[in-house]
Amino acid sequence: MHFDFTDDQREIKRTARELLAARSSLERVRAIAEGDGAYDAALWEELVGLGWTGIALPEEHGGVGLGVLELAIVLEELGYAATPSRFLSNALAAQLIVGAGSDEQCARLLHGIAAGAQTGTVAFARDGVAELVPDADSARWIVLVEGGGAGPAARLYDAATGELRIDPRETIDPTRRYARVTVADAAAGEPLEGDVAGGLDRAEVVLAAELTGLAQRALELTVAYVKERRQFGTPIGAFQAVSHRAAQMLLETEGARSAVWFAAWAADAEPVSLSRAASIAKAAAADAGRHVTAAAIQLHGGIGFTWEADVHWLYKRAQLDAALLAPAAWHRRRIARLAAAGVSGGEHPAAPAGGAAPARASEPPATPAGAG
């Protein structure tokens, strides 16, 4: 059994790391966040030109024809750089449409998504209202998912038709744009009647990959700092309390990465294992993203709490990422139910009750309705 990336996958990772180091440095992230929040159009064109917006989409729909694992590699690097971009939201929508869309819908929608011309986004909604929708103000296609007794139901909306009210929202994360989306007409939109739960699982894996990248960058910045910062002539990293905290950061980051890579592999090669693997990945990555970035601020000491310290961009992004789609607590309950039932597949949550409010993103998200 092979437990490493292929040469092509390693090349994707290397290319992404080098490109984003040059085009999306933390200085550039800061400039965008402190400016008007507009994304870097030139960087988007480069990502599209590399084929990454369609990397996990079928070739017959304008994609590259690779898998979720390759997409997860790219998303981990985008998280590592905290890149301000609509790439994540577009990838989430693409994975849900691939899983739940009809042949006609896939043929109609995915070419534009793969080409980066007509982007999409996805979020949970409750009674026609989604409280936290990434990049809704620039998306052409918005997929809203609501729960029910028979499982999650997804509807596709064309933002150009006026079927939705889109109200931009300020959040703690100024590196990404968010909005509150309200359905104006209950009869609007069109259903995605395929495997909605499977599409959501693929989207959760993609989201977990970005969270893992955020944790990795926070870990690296912190290790570099505690090696350099000295007290009483000794690097603070040599103190037991600091080194133990850093070791816990490493443990959570590597645990999340292993879970994400397995889930991405399962999405491509062993779909029967995807439900449990996706829940393990999202729960581990959400916890790692929030805990590791918070620990990074603590271990930076007083400087870590200042606006000038770059670690807060990672912390803020991780809080919002963890609030998107289903919360970690729901995924842990799902893992327990699947283990008790002795199965690997199954279900996905209804919409979080009331939605996850951006202002309270650092608190535990509301329990998904009907997911108890």
For 190-228, give the DSSP string.
EEE-S-HHHHHHHHHHHHHHHHHHHHHHHHHHHHHHHHH
- The tens-digit pLDDT sequence of the chain (372 residues) is 567 899 999 999 999 999 999 999 999 999 999 998 899 999 999 999 999 999 999 999 999 999 999 999 999 999 999 999 999 999 999 999 999 999 999 999 999 999 999 999 999 999 999 999 999 999 999 999 997 545 789 999 999 998 899 999 999 999 999 999 999 887 889 999 999 999 999 999 999 999 999 999 999 999 999 998 888 888 888 888 999 999 999 999 999 999 999 999 999 999 999 999 999 999 999 999 999 999 999 999 989 889 899 999 999 999 999 999 999 999 999 999 999 988 655 556 554 443 443 332 333 333 343 332
pLDDT at 104: 96
| Residue appearing with tokens 């409280």 | 131
- Pairwise CA distance, residues 95 & 90, whole Å: 9
Identify the helix (H) or strand (E) that includes residue 131: strand 129-134
Q: Are strands 120-124 and 141-146 parallel, antiparallel or unpaired?
A: parallel
- Pairwise CA distance, residues 372 & 366, whole Å: 12
DSSP letter, residue 365 = P
pLDDT at 54: 96
pLDDT at 9: 95
User: Which tokens go with 49?
Assistant: 């030109």
The CA distances from residue 132 to 126, 283, 356, in Å, are 11, 19, 7
The CA distances from residue 196 to 148, 153, 346, 354, in Å, are 12, 7, 11, 21
**Domains in the chain and their CATH numbers?**
196-360 (1.20.140.10)
Letter for the amino acid at 200? L
Residues 314 and 299: beta-carbon distance below 8 Å = no
Its pTM surpasses 0.85:
yes
- Pairwise CA distance, residues 43 & 30, whole Å: 16
| Residue appearing with tokens 């999650």 | 152
pLDDT at 164: 94
- Pairwise CA distance, residues 118 & 90, whole Å: 9
- Pairwise CA distance, residues 270 & 159, whole Å: 35
pLDDT at 344: 54
